[in-house]
A and B are shown apart, each in its own frame.
Chain A
Amino acid sequence: MNAPSPALVAQRPERLRLVGQRRQLLAIMHQRLMFGMLVYAGIVAIIALRILYLAAFGDHAGRREELTAYVPERGDIVDRNGDALARTIDAWTIAIHPTKVIGDKLALAQRLAQLMPEYSEAQYFALLRSNKPFFYLRRRASPALVEAVNAIGEPGLAIEREPDRLYPQTSLAAHVIGYTDIDGHGMAGMERAFDQYLSDPATRGRPLTLSIDSRVQQALEHELLDAMTHFSAIGAAGVVMDVHTGEVLAMTSLPQLNPNDAGNGSPEARFNRATLGVYELGSTFKPFTVAMAMDLGIVKSFGQIYNCPDELHVYGHVVHDTEPYGRQCSVAEIMKASSNIGTAQIADQVGADRQKAFLKKMGFLDPVNVELKERGRTLTPGSRWGPFETMTVGFGHGIAVTPLHLATGYATLFNGGVYHPATLLKIGPGHPVPQGVRVFTEDTSYKMRSLIRLVVLKGTGRKADAPGYRVGGKTGTAEKLANGHYTSAAVVTSFAGVFPMDDPRYVMVMMLDDPKPTKETYGFHTAAWNIGPAFGVAVARIAPLLGVQPDMQREPDMSLVLPYVRDDQPKKD
Chain B
Amino acid sequence: MSRRGILVYAETIGSEIHPVTFELIGKARELAEKLDLEVWSTILGYGIADKAAELIYHGADKVYVYDDERLRDLNVIAHKSVLVELAKEIEPEIFLLGATPWGRSLAPRIAAALDTGLTADCIDLQIDKDGELLQIRPAFTGNILAHIKTSSRPIMATIRYRVMKMPQRDPSRKGEIIIRKFNDVDCDGIKCLGKVSERRINLADAEVVVAGGRGLKKKEDLVLLEELANLLGGVVGVSRPLVEEGWISKDHQVGFSGNVVKPKLYIACGISGSPQHLAGMRDSGMIIAVNSDPSAPIFRHADYGVVADLYEFIPKLILLLKNRKEM
Do A and B come together as binding partners? Answer: no
